[in-house]
């Protein structure tokens, strides 16, 4: 089969199913055009107005715009838009501000942290740095007093505050107090919630932390990419922090920036400034709350008992199934989620007790509370009929007809 046919098939899949993996989203048609544009032909190692290649007059303007938009949107004095993605952005921060073997402290993967937050043995963050990790409590929440004790005993050089499967507001103030009391650099990784922060639906970490990393493709709805931002507080701690980050990206870790992505980021950030985006962010959260309420009503257990943001971690054991079996059944019904560990999961990560689902993409299609109620009902039906292929197929048809009423521009 030709790639063009496969792309057409994938476009149809995205149009006709419910994208409920909380890290996924539909970007804007303008962004897709920018990312697929001639900008990808250009090499521009270095930074705007100080490149190692000629012919970058226009690229410089594009990167300047992306940086300016980032500073304006998040209220920071420094931004670098060149990281290829979220994981390289985090790597850059560690390599810029730490020495190999220095100690970092982040949230455990199984508690909702990210691989790059010091996951032991198999990641660069756990191999090239000493890592000590905090966990969530059995109820799914971070215990900040416990975190403080661990920080005092372990004395990490850098603390990561940020999550990939945590349904509650992060208390930046408490993180800051802890980091300051042990003299650690505090990094907020807002990859998942950047859109909520930009839209005013999650508190911003900017006045509390030294450094912020984020992806641009999750709630922010941009192209796959990432940014590193330094706050006033960060520059106060180390006025050379910006220079160190720039150098760690290039020549430290990367070669030429992906200028097509940079343009997509510039467009995305501009779109994130207005009232329309703020309403979108608000709707993501109210949709998530609505769906969480429905699932609780139907007898699912939710980590922390609900959600304050765009996602929920659902324990599906009350229905006598595991998360993987359930995720596969949901896919057959046109509802796309990922299986996920629940806090202190007794089951292994490849067959955990839960699923993770979120509302950024369905909200981008314009769906609201009535649709969340309907989706909740379907999720219940799938749980009760997970091995009934005929039933799953009939739900898939109903999902398809709902999607038809909320089309998304995928041209």
Is 20 strand, coil or helix?
A: coil
Tell whether residue 191 is a contact of ligand PLP (CB under 6 A).
Answer: yes
Tell whether residue 263 is a contact of ligand PLP (CB under 6 A).
Answer: no
Residues 6+ apart with CB under 8 A from 10: none
* Per annotation, catalytic residue among 157, 218, 221, 317: 218
* Per annotation, catalytic residue among 189, 315, 322, 381: 189
Q: Is 280 part of the annotated catalytic residue set?
A: no
Q: Closer to ligand PLP by CB, 162 or 334: give it.
A: 162
Q: How far is the CB of 68 from ligand PLP (least distance, A)?
A: 23
Report d(CA 302, CA 295) in Å as an integer: 8
* Per annotation, catalytic residue among 45, 102, 180, 232: 45
Q: What angle do CA 203, 32, 50 make, to 5 degrees?
A: 75
| Residue with the CB atom nearest ligand PLP in the bound state | 86
**Are residues 245 and 228 in contact, defined by beta-carbon separation less than 8 angstroms?**
yes
Q: How far is the CB of 140 from ligand PLP (least distance, A)?
A: 17
- Pattern 328-357, ligand PLP, x by CB under 6 A: ------------------------------
User: Burial of 93 by CB count in 10 Å (0-12 exposed, 13-18 middle, 19+ buried)?
Assistant: buried
Nearest to 298 by CA among 381, 388, 394: 381
* Per annotation, catalytic residue among 215, 304, 341, 363: 215
Q: How far is the CB of 298 from ligand PLP (least distance, A)?
A: 28
Q: Closer to ligand PLP by CB, 213 or 371: give it.
A: 213
Is 214 strand, coil or helix?
A: strand
Q: Is 218 part of the annotated catalytic residue set?
A: yes
**Are residues 354 and 327 in contact, defined by beta-carbon separation less than 8 angstroms?**
no
Among 63, 148, 154, 189, binds ligand PLP (CB under 6 A): 189
Among 46, 86, 264, 360, binds ligand PLP (CB under 6 A): 86
Q: Closer to ligand PLP by CB, 15 or 133: give it.
A: 133
Report d(CA 186, CA 162) in Å as an integer: 10
Choices 37-45, 185-193, 285-293, 347-355; region in contact with ligand PLP by CB under 6 A = 185-193
Is 278 strand, coil or helix?
A: helix
Crossing angle of helices 389-405 and 369-384, rounded to 10° = 170
> Beta strand 18-19 with 335-336: parallel, antiparallel or unpaired?
parallel
Binders of ligand PLP in range 23-42 (CB under 6 A): 23
Nearest to 134 by CA among 122, 121, 152, 124: 152
Q: Is 215 part of the annotated catalytic residue set?
A: yes
Q: Closer to ligand PLP by CB, 23 or 25: give it.
A: 23
Is 353 strand, coil or helix?
A: coil
Binders of ligand PLP in range 7-26 (CB under 6 A): 23
Choices 1-9, 91-99, 156-164, 201-209; region in contact with ligand PLP by CB under 6 A = 156-164
Tell whether residue 85 is a contact of ligand PLP (CB under 6 A).
Answer: yes
Among 125, 131, 215, 371, binds ligand PLP (CB under 6 A): 215
Q: How far is the CB of 81 from ligand PLP (least distance, A)?
A: 14
Q: How far is the CB of 115 from ligand PLP (least distance, A)?
A: 8
Rounded to the nearest 5°, which phi and psi values hold at 335? -115, 115
Is 184 strand, coil or helix?
A: coil
Rounded to the nearest 10 degrees, how much is the dihedral formed by the CA atoms of 224, 90, 96, 251? -30
Rounded to the nearest 5°, which phi and psi values hold at 132? -125, 135
Tell whether residue 222 is a contact of ligand PLP (CB under 6 A).
Answer: no
Binders of ligand PLP in range 114-133 (CB under 6 A): 114, 116
Q: Is 189 part of the annotated catalytic residue set?
A: yes
Tell whether residue 221 is a contact of ligand PLP (CB under 6 A).
Answer: no
Q: Closer to ligand PLP by CB, 147 or 402: give it.
A: 147
Report d(CA 188, CA 211) in Å as an integer: 6
CA atoms within 13 A of residue 386's CA, in its CB half-sphere:
18
Chain positions contacting ligand PLP, by CB under 6 A: 23, 85-87, 90, 114, 116, 162-164, 189, 191-192, 215
Catalytic residues: 43, 45, 189, 215, 218, 224
């Amino acid at each position: 089969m030709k790639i063009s046919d496969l792309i057409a098939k994938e476009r149809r899949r995205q149009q006709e199913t419910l994208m409920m993996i909380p890290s996924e989203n539909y970007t804007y048609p303008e962004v897709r055009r920018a990312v697929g544009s001639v900008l990808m032909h250009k090499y521009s190692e270095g930074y705007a107005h100080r490149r190692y290649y000629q012919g970058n007059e226009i690229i410089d303007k594009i990167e300047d715009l992306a940086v300016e938009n980032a500073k304006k949107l998040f209220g920071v004095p420094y931004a670098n838009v060149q990281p290829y993605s979220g994981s390289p952005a985090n790597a850059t921060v560690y390599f810029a501000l730490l020495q190999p073997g220095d100690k970092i402290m982040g949230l455990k993967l199984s508690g909702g942290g990210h691989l790059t937050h010091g996951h032991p043995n198999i990641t660069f963050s756990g191999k090239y740095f000493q890592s000590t990790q905090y966990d969530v409590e059995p109820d799914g929440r971070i215990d900040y007093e416990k975190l403080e004790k661990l920080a005092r005993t372990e004395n990490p050089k850098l603390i990561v505050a940020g999550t990939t499967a945590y349904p509650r507001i992060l208390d930046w103030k408490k993180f800051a107090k802890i980091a300051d009391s042990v003299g650690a650099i505090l990094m907020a990784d807002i990859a998942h919630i950047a859109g909520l922060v930009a839209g005013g639906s999650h508190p911003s970490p900017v006045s509390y932390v030294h450094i912020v990393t984020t992806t641009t493709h999750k709630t922010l709805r941009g192209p796959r990419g990432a940014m590193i931002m330094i706050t006033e507080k960060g520059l106060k701690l180390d006025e050379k922090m910006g220079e160190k980050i720039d150098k760690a990206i290039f020549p430290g870790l990367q070669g030429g920036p992906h200028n097509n992505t940079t343009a997509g980021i510039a467009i995305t950030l501009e779109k994130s400034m207005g009232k329309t985006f703020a309403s979108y962010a608000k709707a993501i959260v109210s949709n998530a709350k609505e769906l969480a309420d429905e699932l609780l009503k139907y007898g699912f257990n939710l980590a922390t008992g609900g959600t304050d943001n765009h996602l929920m971690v659902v324990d599906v054991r009350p229905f006598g199934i595991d998360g993987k079996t359930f995720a596969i059944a949901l896919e057959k019904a046109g509802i796309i989620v990922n299986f996920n560990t629940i806090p202190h999961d007794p089951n292994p990560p490849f067959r955990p007790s839960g699923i993770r689902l979120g509302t950024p993409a369905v909200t981008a299609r314009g769906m609201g509370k009535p649709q969340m109620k309907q989706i909740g009902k379907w999720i219940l039906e799938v749980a009760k009929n997970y091995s009934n292929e005929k039933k799953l197929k009939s739900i898939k048809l109903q999902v398809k007809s709902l999607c038809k009423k909320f089309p998304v521009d995928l041209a």
